Amino acid sequence: MAATIFDLGLSVEAVSLFLLIEGLEGSKIDPDKNCTAKSANITADICLAKWNGEDADFKRALSELLAVGAIKDNNSELGTTKPAAWKTK
């Protein structure tokens, strides 16, 4: 886990969404390890289905994370970025 996420001064919702995305990334299947299961891309819809807050809070958290560069949106696939790329206050 990138503990520096807590040093950015983000909202609780944004940190929670970051941790959700990071957790989903960690559960992706590694095809190099002889696993035949298919991994799914992490999308906003997948995250929203697991989100237990309001949709508006999710959208604000997503925008907040994108604004500081903590996550990337690559053709609707979400993923975390390296802390060195994050914009700090």
Structure tokens at 79: 């993923």
Q: In angstroms, what CA-CA distances link 81 with 19, 33, 49?
A: 12, 24, 22
Q: Can you give the residue ranges of every domain in the chain?
A: 10-28+38-83
Q: Sign of the CA dihedral 22, 56, 41, 35? A: positive
For the domain bounded by 10-28+38-83, which CATH number is listed?
A: 1.10.10.10
CA dihedral 31, 36, 42, 45 (to 10 degrees): 170
Give tens-digit pLDDT for 9-22: 999 999 999 999 99
Give tens-digit pLDDT for 27-80: 655 556 655 555 678 999 999 999 999 999 999 999 999 999 999 999 899 999
Characterize the bridge pairing of strands 77-80 and 71-74. antiparallel
